[in-house]
Structure 1
Amino acid sequence: MELTYHRKGDYLFPNLTLAEESVQIGKYGMLRRTYLKEHRKNLYQSLLISGKLDSHLQEIEKSAQGRMENLMDGLLTTYPAPDKETDPMAWTAHMNSLTQMAEETVLTELVYS
Structure 2
Amino acid sequence: MCEYMILEDFNMDKYIYDNSNGLWYELQGDYYIPCLVLPDEKEERHIGIWGHRHLRYIREHKKVFYTDLLISGKLQSYLADVEEQAQELFDRLMKQRAEREGITETLKAENQMLWVGRMNALRSAVTETVNTEVIFV
TM-score in terms of structure 1 length: 0.85
Matched, 1:41 2:63: yes
| Structure 1 gap segments, 5+ residues each | none
Alpha carbons of structure 1 residues 15 and 108: separation in structure 2 relative to 1, 3 Å: closer
Aligned residues with identical type, % of pairs: 32
What letter matches 2:119 in structure 1? M
What letter matches 2:131 in structure 1? L
Alpha carbons of structure 1 residues 19 and 4: separation in structure 2 relative to 1, 3 Å: farther
Larger Rg: 2
User: 111, 117, 121: which is aligned to 1:87?
Assistant: 111
Task: Report the count of equivalent residues.
Answer: 111
Contact 1:5–1:12 (8 Å) recurs in 2: no
SS for the counterpart of 2:110 is coil
Higher relative CO (Cα under 8 Å, sequence separation at least 6) belongs to 1
Alpha carbons of structure 1 residues 46 and 71: separation in structure 2 relative to 1, 3 Å: same
- Structure having the higher strand fraction is 2
Matched, 1:52 2:74: yes
> Runs of 4+ in structure 1 displaced over 2 angstroms?
3-17, 21-24
**Greater mean alpha carbon deviation, residues 32-41 or residues 4-13:** 4-13
What letter matches 2:41 in structure 1? E
What letter matches 1:84 in structure 2? K
Structure 1 vs Structure 2 CA RMSD: 2.1
TM-score in terms of structure 2 length: 0.71
Shift of 1:19: 2.1
Matched, 1:6 2:24: yes
CA distance in 2, matches of 1:41, 1:91: 42
| Structure 2 gap segments, 5+ residues each | 1-20
Any idea what the Cα deviations from partners look like across 1:30-76, whole Å, max 9, x if unmatched? 00000001111111111111111111110000001100111011101
**Greater mean alpha carbon deviation, residues 89-98 or residues 11-20:** 11-20
**Greater mean alpha carbon deviation, residues 37-46 or residues 10-19:** 10-19
